[in-house]
Amino acid sequence: MRELFKLNHFFVRYKWSIILGTLFLTVSNIFLVWIPVLIRQSMDAVEELRATGDHHYDTVFEAIFSAEAGVILAEFSVYLIGAVLIYGVLLFL
């Protein structure tokens, strides 16, 4: 147990680095968890477009390749790329 008390000096010395590192890792993991949520929301939006849109789409694939779905998917892809970039930056700070 005495050997562990020698480590307290390093914890005190690097207190702010440890706190900031823990904070950045926590926030980056929040963005990592948010990625599947974004993908689910984009697929739900395309499915809603298929169900309630002006055009009749037989399958989800036809709805995905339509012009209306392209706008939705482009918007969500920007969100997805932003989340991945923020995750990467926070991970390596």
Question: How many helices (H) does the chain have, and how many strands (E)?
Answer: 5, 0
The predicted model scores a pTM of 0.69
For 71-87, b/e burial (b = at least 16 CB within 10 A) is ebbeebeeebeebeebb
- Asked, for residue 26, whether it belongs to a domain, the answer is no
- Asked, for residue 10, whether it belongs to a domain, the answer is no
Neighbours of 30 (CB within 10 A): 13
- Asked, for residue 2, whether it belongs to a domain, the answer is no
Q: How many domains does the chain have?
A: 1
- Asked, for residue 75, whether it belongs to a domain, the answer is yes
Asked if 32 contacts 90 with a C-beta cutoff of 8 angstroms, the reply is: no
Residue with tokens 């307290």: 8
Quick: pLDDT tens for 6-49: 888 888 888 899 899 999 999 999 988 999 999 999 889 888 87
For residue 61, the enclosing domain spans 31-93
- Asked, for residue 77, whether it belongs to a domain, the answer is yes
CA distance 69 to 12: 54
- Asked, for residue 16, whether it belongs to a domain, the answer is no
Confidence of residue 92 (pLDDT cuts 50, 70, 90): confident
